[in-house]
Structures are given as C-alpha cells and as structure tokens.
Chain A
Amino acid sequence: QVQLVQSRAEVKEPGASVKVSCKTSGYTFIGYYVHWVRQAPGQGLEWMGWINPNSGVTNFAPKFQGKVAMTRDKSVSTAYMELYGLQSDDTAVYFCARGRYNAYDYVDSFGQGTLVTVSS
C-alpha cells in the first residue's frame, strides 16, 4: 500500500534551517508529484508547493519563494523539503503528500507529519 514516512520532530533556533524527509513506498516514486503542506498549531492547512520527482522541477506558492527548497533522491524514493531562515511563525506540522500524475491535481495520501518547532 502507499506509504509516506517522514522524519522525526525537530527543534530549531530562529534563523536556522531545517530539512524534512519523506520516504515513499508502495508505488512508483517518479510517477507522482510530491506536495508539501503545513499546519501551524490550531490553524488550517497551507499548501507550500510540489516537486516532480522524475524531472526535479518544482513549483512553490509565492509566499515560500526563496524560503523553501524541494529536492528528491530517486534511488531511495525519498523527497525532501528544506526551509530556510526559520522564524517563530514557521512552527508547524509539515506534511508531505502524494499528488497525481499531473501538476495541477489533488493529493491522495499524506505522510504522518513532522513537527518543526522554532524557539530560542
């Protein structure tokens, strides 16, 4: 079955960076986009962007341009999201999610989420 398993929780100081991994299994990694969505404590869902695991092409929400990088390692079917210049309002649970075959499509499976806490 489709599985996305994310790295464990992180605590970072303001100004630092964090890299979250998302290891996939149960499907052909390069055939489906991987999206990243975040959720601040007690808040709603916020779409960050996607990566095409086959080509490596990325697309980010304007809010995250220059703030985020999304990469992948096809050899281990894993996607990564790195967030730079962390501030307190970046404290959130970050989810990876499997998209579909096309860029402008829904996501159908989520990872368990990774809590990133930004605190001095």
Chain B
Amino acid sequence: DIVLTQSPGTLSLSPGERATLSCWASQSLASNSLAWYQQKPGQAPRLLIYGASSRATGIPVRFSGSGSGTDFSLTISRLEPEDFAVYYCQQYGTSPQTFGPGTKVEIK
C-alpha cells in the first residue's frame, strides 16, 4: 500500500495568516493522483483539490495545491475563520486508495 505522511500534525495560526500543509507519499503517484479534503467536526469531508493542483467546483481561490511525484502541498493563502478544520490528503491512483493521517489547522 502507498503510505501518506502529513506534516505538521497540528498547525496553530491566526486568521489572515498563510497555511502550508505537506503530504509525502511512500512512492511516486501516477499522474499526480492526489486529492485534498477538508473536514469539520461532525461533517463529511469536502473535496478541495484533485490532480494535485486543480481546485474543485466552488472552492475559493485562496486554496491551492502543488507538487508532483512524492511531495505535495496545500496552501491556504489567507486563513478565514471557516478554514479552521482538519485536512486530509488522499492518493487515488493505486488500489487500495489511502489517506494521510490529517493536519489539524487550529486558531492560535
């Protein structure tokens, strides 16, 4: 199985600050088959980014994804109050699909 590692485990920031979340894969991902999801307490995950860098429908431009091969990142340019949540990366190009353990973005 492809193992995804996310860093940091928790990110403490203030609204308006920039957030950079990292995701590393144990092997190169075919066709940059990496997605990012946001999850708030008691809610289902929401797709933010697919194909490493394509924003999903309706996702604000402050969310951007980058990377290739084994190293990927999600950047939130200026944190809004509603962005404080847990973020998961997922690889979907190889079965079984796998998720990273998540990064919690909390209010400082």
The answer to whether A and B belong to the same complex is yes
Query: What residues make up the interface of A, taking CB atoms closer than 8 Å to B?
Result: 35, 37, 44-47, 49, 59-63, 95, 103-113
Inter-chain contact B44/A47, CB cutoff 8 Å: no
Number of A-B contacts (CB under 8 A): 59
Q: How large is the interface on B (under 10, 10 to 19, 20 to 34, 35 or more residues)?
A: 20 to 34
Inter-chain contact A104/B99, CB cutoff 8 Å: no
Question: CB of B74 within 8 A of chain A?
Answer: no
Query: What residues make up the interface of B, taking CB atoms closer than 8 Å to A?
Result: 1, 33, 35, 37, 39, 44-47, 50, 56-57, 88, 90, 92-102
Contacts of A113 in B (CB 8 A): 44
Inter-chain contact A105/B92, CB cutoff 8 Å: yes
**Complex Cα distance A59/B90, Å?**
17
Query: Which listed residue (B1, B50, B92) contacts A104, Cβ 8 A?
Result: B92
Contacts of A46 in B (CB 8 A): 99
Query: Which listed residue (A61, A106, A108, A112) contacts B96, Cβ 8 A?
Result: A61
**Complex Cα distance A103/B93, Å?**
9
Query: Which listed residue (A61, A104, A110) contacts B44, Cβ 8 A?
Result: A110
Residue contacts A-B, CB under 8 angstroms, 10 given: A44-B101, A45-B88, A49-B96, A95-B44, A104-B33, A104-B94, A106-B50, A106-B92, A108-B50, A109-B47
